[in-house]
A and B are shown apart, each in its own frame.
Chain A
């Protein structure tokens, strides 16, 4: 299994500011993903973090708002830019080690509140 650490675990942010969330995995993984979970809602995929290249964003999410880095096989960051109260969510990092029927693991999430 993979152990995933996310920082920060919680934060209260001012409107208009940006915050970078870090995701560190204890082993090399093939794929890393970022999800958002708005209050009382299910999880929605933001993007796939590709090592050494630009992230692949899902419909409704753009790089200017959610820039992502993935410098190596164990680390990724997600920045939430120019935050508004609508960005108050749990942001979760997820990893896959590849292969058919592979298990996908999640970090404990970063709980952001924008005021």
Chain B
């Protein structure tokens, strides 16, 4: 079955540091890949997505590239801000006709000024 393995947290970085959160997956077929973000006290928001191999999703300075050869979808940002402090979830799903998502365990990110 489908599974997502996500970098363990928590992660603490200084403002303007480079961020990488690793995500690898196991799936059959050609899934879509997503990163969702959950800010403190809020629900889940879609951060970015990629629907096929070599696609790059990007939003708010975050990027992730769908790497089929390494079954990975690592999240990166060149310079993090305090406002990026949140929990980040990698998710897999979206095979045509199957929109159920499989989530990673989440990575709590804290950015210190």
Contacts and interface: CB of A to CB of B under 8 A. Distances in A.
Nearest to B90: A42
B23 to A, nearest CB: 12
Contacts of B36: 106
Band of interface residues on A: 20 to 34
Interface in A41-98: 41-45, 48, 90, 92, 94, 96, 98
A103 B106 contact: no
A104 B101 contact: yes
Nearest to B97: A98
A6 to B, nearest CB: 8
A102 B49 CA distance: 10
Contacts of A30: 99
B103 A101 contact: no
Given A42-B89, A92-B44, A107-B43, A98 B100 contact: no
Interface of B: 32, 34, 36, 42-46, 49, 51-52, 89, 93-94, 96, 99-101, 103-106
Given A42-B89, A100-B51, A102-B99, 5 more contacts: A98-B99, A101-B32, A101-B52, A103-B46, A109-B43
